[in-house]
């Protein structure tokens, strides 16, 4: 069946320094849910991978977070079409490029894009393309209940949201959630560190039965990723950042 297939998109790209950027990767997580992983060279961090999802039901697909470039976004959409899925839209979980770089390409090709008011405002201030649909509520349901969007409060950024897949009991945490391998909060230049532990507590309270948690970077895990993130945030709060 299609969800048992591991897909690698067969292309690669190069940075100005001729460093190889790994190919876009797509693989199944659970029936009807695929993870897409794209890469970028980030100053001060080196080669970094970023996770997003494709959620599918009745041959209808929805993207959670675009890949890190328009080119990878196009490759992702090509893969969706190759599977004979109908793409309903995408949502970006905050304004950084590892979540929203593909919005411009999707808009240009008639795909519905969603983001919160906060995210669209930040995109506008940065001179970047905004999503075509702006979410004004802290809780919002998309794709006939396939996805639930929840704004828990500030953390990695002021605008970060999480996305709950009730049928899979899967939470996509984006950069708001750290992998178990992470020993720090990562990039905190726009973080709301004082709020972060309280925001994680809000997610734990709302989704106590979560079984799978997907962070924005790194390995998939369980509810332990939320607890780990809360510990890291508490530690950063006590140490002053």
> In this predicted model, what pLDDT tens digit does every residue of 16-72 receive, in sequence order?
344 688 999 999 999 999 999 999 988 888 899 999 999 999 999 999 999 999 999
pLDDT of residue 45: 81
> What sign results for the dihedral spanned by CA atoms 183, 186, 188, 189?
positive
Total H helices, total E strands in the chain:
6, 15
Q: What percent of the chain has pLDDT over 70?
A: 91
Full DSSP string of 103-126: HHHHHHTT--EEEEHHHHHHHHHT
pLDDT per position as a tens digit, 120-139 = 999 999 999 999 999 998 88
Full DSSP string of 176-206: TS--TT-SS----TT--TTTHHHHHHHHHHH
pLDDT per position as a tens digit, 176-202 = 999 999 999 999 999 999 999 999 999
pLDDT of residue 64: 98
pLDDT of residue 18: 46
| Alpha-helix residue ranges (DSSP H) falling in the chain | 70-82, 97-100, 103-108, 117-125, 196-206, 224-239
pLDDT of residue 12: 40
Rounded Cα distance, 147 and 137, in Å: 14
Q: Which two tokens stand for residue 224?
A: 């332990």
| Placement of tokens 């950042």 in the chain | 241
Q: What is the DSSP letter of 1?
A: -
pLDDT of residue 114: 97
Where residue 113 falls among pLDDT bands split at 50, 70, 90?
very high
- Torsion-angle region of 104 (φ positive above 0: left; ψ -120 to 50: alpha; else: beta): alpha
Domains and their CATH numbers in the chain = 2-239 (3.60.15.10)
* Opening angle at CA 105, ends 140 and 71, nearest 5: 120
> What sign results for the dihedral spanned by CA atoms 166, 167, 171, 174?
negative
Where residue 74 falls among pLDDT bands split at 50, 70, 90?
very high
pLDDT per position as a tens digit, 137-157 = 888 998 888 999 999 999 999
CB 104 within 8 A of CB 72: no
CB 12 within 8 A of CB 21: yes
Give yes or no for residue 2 having a pLDDT over 80.
no
What is the Rg, in whole angstroms, of the alpha carbon atoms belonging to the chain?
17
């Amino acid at each position: 069946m299609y969800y048992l297939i591991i897909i690698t998109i067969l292309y690669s790209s190069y940075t100005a320094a001729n460093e190889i950027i790994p190919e876009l990767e797509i693989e199944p997580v659970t029936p009807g849910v695929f993870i897409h992983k794209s890469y970028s060279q980030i100053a001060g961090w080196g080669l970094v991978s970023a996770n997003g999802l494709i959620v599918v039901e009745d041959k209808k697909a929805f993207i959670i977070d675009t890949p890190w470039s328009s080119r990878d976004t196009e490759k992702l959409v090509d893969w969706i079409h190759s599977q004979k899925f109908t793409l309903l839209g995408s949502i970006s979980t905050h304004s950084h490029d590892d979540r929203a770089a593909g919005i411009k390409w999707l808009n240009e090709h008639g795909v519905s894009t969603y983001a919160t008011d906060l995210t669209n405002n930040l995109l506008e201030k940065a001179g970047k393309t905004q999503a075509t649909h702006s979410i004004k509520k802290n809780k919002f349901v998309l794709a006939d209940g396939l996805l639930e969007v929840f704004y828990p409060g500030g953390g990695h950024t002021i605008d970060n949201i999480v996305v709950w897949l009730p049928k899979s009991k899967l939470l996509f945490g984006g950069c708001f959630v750290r992998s178990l391998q992470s020993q720090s909060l990562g990039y905190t230049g726009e973080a709301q560190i004082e709020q972060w532990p309280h925001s994680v507590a809000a997610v734990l309270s709302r989704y106590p039965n979560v079984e799978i948690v997907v962070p924005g970077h790194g390995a998939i895990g369980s509810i332990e990723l939320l607890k780990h993130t809360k510990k890291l945030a508490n530690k950063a709060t006590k140490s002053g950042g």
